[in-house]
Amino acid sequence: MTEEANPAEEKPMPPPDLVTWSEFLEGYPINSVQNVSEYYERTKEKYGDPFRRMTPTLRLHCSKCKGVRNFSGRWIHHRTFSKGGVVHDFLKYTCKDCGEASKTFCVISQAIDENGNGCAIKIGEFPELHVELPRSVEKLLGEDYALFVKGLTCEKRGLGVGAFTYYRRVVESQKNHLISEIIRVAEKLGAREDITDKLKAAQKEKQFSRAVDTVKGAIPESLLVDSDNPLKLLHDSLSICVHAESDETCLRMAHSIRLVLADLSERVKLALGEQDELRTAVSDLLKFTAETRKKAKESQQ
């Protein structure tokens, strides 16, 4: 006979969609509601509070150091923490390098099980969430970059519908320019004429969906995002009906659109830059070889 498991020893199932407490603080926009792990721990103190809310080291942008640094944190109020109680509090973080720059979070949180997990709502943060954008994004989007920044502002404030709407307007407006950049890369990589013809035909399509179908198989491999066509990824994200989806869904899609655009801009920059560097390198080698042969010939005379 096999022994039956003791129900008292079974661990409860973890809540769905858990992210770590540090991930939530570092990267989630305000108004986000999220189940988090590593939120609290049991203390070993004989007297005092039996539980302690965690203050993990965070990787945040430091305005003084001009880069991402380690930040240490502390809860502003040290009231008694009970596992079932809802806590309204401020969490202040300070840069470990300069000791001057700080960041303050306003959160509502509570424990939700026996495993250190909790649920948190980010009510506010100052300075606001810092998102590092490659400089290549501005070049890729041209005159619509200002709208893109407005979309980013909405995203950082947890306004999903607003962020999604701005990003969609940018992508739809820049469709032809995005394809132009892809054509530049294809031509520099020596793509066949029929491939560039397909890309040029896509530029003439007024509908984004038809343009995506036209360029199928014509995107240079170096521009694929995780082996996928970036234009198709953008189109699939844009195809959701903003009026029928929740703000949370729109925020998630907006985040995806931003990441794909940023990745595409870097890939275009890299592909074009590599070709320029290669041409310069070839030119330098040819020049060096010619000069070396010329000197050798003169020395023999």
Q: Let me know whether 120 and 147 are in one domain.
A: no
- Domain count within the chain: 2
pLDDT at 3 over 50: no
Q: Which pTM was predicted?
A: 0.69
Range of the domain at 38: 13-126
The arithmetic mean of pLDDT across residues 49-60, rounded, is 87
Per residue in 244-296, pLDDT (tens digit) is: 788 888 888 898 899 899 998 988 888 887 555 556 666 667 776 777 777 77
Same domain, 76 and 139: no
Q: Which of 105, 126, 147 is the last residue of a domain?
A: 126
Give the amino acid at 252: R
Tell me, yes or no, whether 263 and 161 share the same domain.
yes
> Final residue of a domain: which of 108, 126, 144?
126
Q: Residue 103: its pLDDT value, please? A: 96
Is there a domain that residue 122 lies in?
A: yes
| Pairwise pLDDT comparison (212 vs 92), residue with the higher score | 92
Looking at the structure, do residues 141 and 108 belong to the same domain, yes or no?
A: no
* 121 shares a domain with 203: no
Please say if the pLDDT value at position 175 is more than 90.
Answer: no
